[in-house]
Amino acid sequence: MKTVAMSLVCAATLAALATPSPRSGQKPPITLHLEAPKAPLKVGERLVLRAKITNISDHKVGVGLMAGEAFPMGVIYQVYVCDQRGHTVPRRPPPPHSKGAAAGPIFSLGGVVLNPGQSVIDRIPVTNYYDLNRPGKYRIWIREPPLPAGYGVKSNVVTVTVVK
C-alpha cells in the first residue's frame, strides 16, 4: 500500500512540476483522442482502446498514464460507457482475491512529460471494468479527471459494435 501511495505522489509531483497551472478560461494544453477497433467485437472478447494524448500547447506538459491493466479506473481517466439506448453500462465488481494472492491489484502509475506537439499512446482496458457481453452498439468516451495537475479534458466518442 505504501508503494501505491508513493507512486501516486511521485506521478502527481511530476505532472505538477512539468505543467503550469491553467488559468481560468484558458484552453487545456492537451487533447485526448480515442481509437476503437474497426472490426466488431465478439461477445466475451477483450476491448482495449487506444488513447492518444497530444500536447497542443507551447510548453512542456506532464501527463499521467495507465502503466498496468489492473490499474483502478478513475485515477487517470474517468471512463463512460453507454449502450445503444443511451443507458449507462454498470461497472463490473472488482474481482475477488483468491487464497494466497496479493491483498490488492498489481499496477503502477506512470507519467511522461510531453514537449509541444508531442503525443503518447495509452491503453485503456475497458472490459476489465465494464461488461460488454450483450450484442449491440456501445458509445465510449473518457475524461481526464481534474486532479491538481489535471485539466478535465474530454475525448471524442467512439462506437464499438459487439456481435454474437
In which element (H, E) is residue 121 found?
strand 119-125
What DSSP assignment string belongs to 20-74?
A: PPPPTTPPPSEEEEEE--SSPEETT---EEEEEEEE-SSS-EEEEEE-STTPPTT
Whether the pTM exceeds 0.85: the reply is no
Report all structural domains of the chain as residue ranges with CATH numbers, in order of start.
2-20+30-163 (2.60.40.2360)
Task: Render pLDDT for 30-85 as a digit per residue (tens, 0 to 9).
Answer: 999 999 999 999 999 999 999 999 999 999 988 877 655 544 555 678 889 999 99
Provide the β-strand partners of residue 82. 88, 139
Q: What is the pLDDT of residue 105?
A: 41
| pLDDT reading at 148 higher than 60 | no
Identify which of 39, 38, 40, 32 has the alpha carbon closest to the alpha carbon of residue 132: 40
**In the Cβ-directed half-sphere of 126, how many Cα atoms lie within 13 Å?**
30
Q: Over the stretch 22-44, which tens digit does the pLDDT of each residue have?
A: 445 678 899 999 999 999 999 99
State which amino acid sits at residue 115.
N
